[in-house]
Amino acid sequence: MDWVMVVVMVVVVLVGTILSAYIISSTINNQMGELYTVLVERELKEDRKSTPQRQKHEESKVEEKPKEKMSVSGVNEEELIKKLRQVIDQKVEKVLDEAKGRKEKLFMLLDVARGYTLGYVTEDEYNAFLMKVLSEMDEFKRLWLAKFPSQKDREKLNTMMNYIAKTKLPIVVRSRDGKNSMTLPPEEALIRITSNINSAINVLDDLISGRGENPAVTPLEIKLSKECETLRAKVEKMERQLEEYGALT
């Protein structure tokens, strides 16, 4: 009997403890839920009050920003255009000197071609130097057209570039029917290269002289150019004298 009573008492205590814990837990949960509800309602009320003010503040910022951006943009555009104009003017100011420098580079290309013919330069080395010359010529073409935007000059520059590009090794010639082809030996290739480079130089000289500049760059060219100018002056003087003599008679 005693053991039965002990077991009953233990069971009663356990059940009471469990019920008490459940009641306490339920009470705490209810209180926390009520507290959470009160906090949420308070936050919603504060949001409703602050939202119109925030919207007005944001709208005022949105309205102010474009005006500020437009004024800053206007100043930047003027400064950028001014700097751009200065850079372009400095770049194209000496384009005629650049043209003479490119002409000297073509003479150097011809020297490298001669070196290839004599066996001092390989085919790959010549082609590498040719690619460098073509790259510099393409940059010069843009500079020239920025200074002299002429369709006629553009066509001449393209013709000059084509002449230079034709000197790439190996030089292959085809028969008239196009069925057969032959790679030229170094000696004959040099003849073709020289012809194309001279044609490119003639185009460049025409561009330079067309802008009122003397295209002479080598000592021999400068000497011959001075002699031609002297002879031209003598011929003009003789023509004036003949006109005066004809007027007297």
pLDDT over 90 for what percent of the chain?
39
The answer to whether domain 98-212 has CATH 3.30.70 is: no
78 or 49: which carries more pLDDT confidence?
Answer: 78
Least confident of 61-65, 78-82, 220-224: 61-65
200-247: pLDDT as tens digits? 999 999 999 998 887 766 655 555 555 556 666 767 777 777 777 777
pLDDT on residue 80: 80
Q: Does pLDDT of 85 surpass 90?
A: no
Q: Does pLDDT of 135 surpass 90?
A: yes
pLDDT over 70 for what percent of the chain?
61
pLDDT on residue 66: 45
What is the residue extent of each domain of the chain?
98-212, 219-249
Tell me what the mean pLDDT of segment 110-131 comes to. 96
Confidence of residue 78 (pLDDT cuts 50, 70, 90): confident
Confidence of residue 8 (pLDDT cuts 50, 70, 90): low
pLDDT on residue 59: 52
- Write the single-letter amino acid at 45: K
Confidence of residue 107 (pLDDT cuts 50, 70, 90): very high
Q: Does pLDDT of 79 surpass 50?
A: yes
Please state the separation of Cα 125 from the chain's center in Å: 28
pTM: 0.57
145-191: pLDDT as tens digits? 998 999 999 999 999 999 999 999 999 988 787 788 899 999 999 99
